[in-house]
Structure 1
């Protein structure tokens, strides 16, 4: 199965990025309104295994106007998660599988690396290179926006971190 990788160094603590990633249902439409118009959890609980989100794109996006993605794996301690597109999105472009794993690793107290690996398959005769390049550019842009947001707002500092089954600590 073909795979592509994206690795990006961000000037934020790994735990801050991890908590922000758990809140992308709310954050992504704010950070990239030119790409994403709305995200709703349509099955399960947000950021929990087997939950399904419906992501609505702006009408000028290629690959369809929406994607349904399922969260299939989460390792809270290892800061790793895997999603799989189940309808729309890349599947509407010519891919038959799009499974994305992200992992956040700490470099030091204020810097981390996010590693994204996408496993995909395509319909016969489909050339995925342009779509992959666009997806990588959008991922980079969105992650840099998230980095700027975390730095600017300070919302994901260590004293605000929460764990599952508890509420945010003010």
Structure 2
């Protein structure tokens, strides 16, 4: 069984600024700093933020399911401001998903705002159809909102 979900989050920050954070390791560093109680800790296992980089997210104590996940950066497209990662261990893989791909695209709305399109594409065995409801963009939306607020405050303090 294949599935796809997507959610758009409007940020009042220029797309180029948001992409600078999302394209490499800065997103994980900020999530680790600003969302440790929600997302957990983020550490680089291998790589420099380019394709092939592997990061480990260790969820906060009390989080249901697996205590961690590892994801690999599989695509970084600067022209389309698109980043894709795949869960390669833990998390949704432990729950039974054969594929769990996260796609983050930064879409310019105007000179001062953009949309973060957070998508999840997944594959599971048809016999495990009931776990499909576990797929969610909610953590990605929370990250986008918090990063957007952080970047907007940072820009305001510079002006």
The normalised TM-score by structure 1 is 0.82
Tell me what 1:28 maps to: 31
Unaligned runs of 5+ in 2: none
Tell me what 1:67 maps to: 69
Tell me what 1:166 maps to: none
Q: Give 3-state SS (helix, strand or coil) of 1:127's partner.
A: helix
Tell me what 1:12 maps to: 13
Q: Distance in 2 between matches of 1:93 and 1:154?
A: 40
Question: 1:129/1:121 Cα in 2 relative to 1: closer, same or farther (>3 Å)?
Answer: closer
Deviations 1:79-134 (A, max 9, x none): 111100000111122322101111111010111011122110124234235423xx
Between Structure 1 and Structure 2, the one with more helix by share is 2
Q: Distance in 1 between matches of 2:113 and 2:122?
A: 29
Q: Which has the higher contact order (CA 8 A, sep 6+)?
A: 2
Q: Distance in 2 between matches of 1:111 and 1:3?
A: 26
Contact 1:94 1:126 in 2 (8 A): no
Structure 1 ranges of 4+ moved more than 4 A: none
Question: 1:62/1:126 Cα in 2 relative to 1: closer, same or farther (>3 Å)?
Answer: farther
The normalised TM-score by structure 2 is 0.87
Tell me what 1:80 maps to: 82
Unaligned runs of 5+ in 1: 158-170
Alignment length (residue pairs): 153
Deviations 1:49-96 (A, max 9, x none): 011111111122223111110001111122111100000111122322
